[in-house]
Amino acid sequence: MQPKYILFDVAGTLLHKPAVFTSIQKVLQQNGFDFEEKKIKAQHKILSECYIFPDQTDVTFYQKFNSDLLFSLGVIPNEKLLNQIFDACTYLPWEKFSDTHYLNETKIPAGIISNFNSTLKEKLKTFFDVEFKDIFVSEELGVAKPDKLFYQKAIEKIDINPAEIIYVGDSLKLDIKPAQELGLNAILIDREEYYPAFENRIKSLNELNNYLC
């Protein structure tokens, strides 16, 4: 069935904070722990699949998340180390992935669905000079991923057969599973190839053209 609409996740799909991993690596090195950035990034990704991120994160959330991250690396967390990581990673800038130029090239309508607060709409304008047909944020709809109701509300607003909607996200738990269950053509963006066993995945947004034929 010919796709008529592309729906995108944001964090990890269109935008990211690459400085997070170099910052964590630096703090760990300063405390006598030497890890490759690639290892930290991989553990962070795996752990992220086990967490539900709130619309607005705070120090309490990240102290728990970073504590589990350290345990996953074989490091016993302590208050000093956790505070150093939090301070080093707070307010780091978002950056767009290099392959998001695809947004300017696609000819079919595109929308956004994200566990984010209402500031997302203005934030997207600072990165992309494209007009998204719809922007669905969890704070405004009162429901968040992976709740299927969030996706259902978006589908109803888009008013297109789910089978004719491509959905692109980076999380199997938050994005792909609920989208598939509602009949969306869900595609995993897996730039680092963390999930080789998952078939319906792409390594770059440019590969989406293969699904538009």
For residues 198 and 122, what is the distance between their CA atoms, to the nearest angstrom? 34
Instruction: Kindly list the structural domains of the chain, giving each domain's residue range(s) and its CATH number in brackets, ordered by start.
Output: 5-15+94-211 (3.40.50.1000), 18-89 (1.10.150.660)
**Taking the alpha carbons of 177, 119, 123, 17 in that order, is the dihedral positive or negative?**
negative
Whether 162 contacts 3, CB under 8 Å: no
**Rounded CA gap, 197 and 173, in Å?**
15
> pTM of the full predicted structure?
0.92
pLDDT per residue of the chain (213 residues) written in tens, 0 to 9: 789 999 999 999 999 999 999 999 999 999 999 999 999 999 999 999 988 777 677 889 999 999 999 999 999 999 999 999 999 999 899 999 999 999 999 989 999 999 988 899 999 999 999 999 999 999 899 999 999 999 999 999 999 999 999 999 999 999 999 999 999 999 999 999 999 999 999 999 999 999 886
Collect all residues with Cβ–Cβ distance below 8 Å to 104 and sequence separation of at least 6. 128, 129, 130
Using the CB atoms, write b or e for 57-76: b if 16+ within 10 Å: eeeeebbebbbebbebbebe
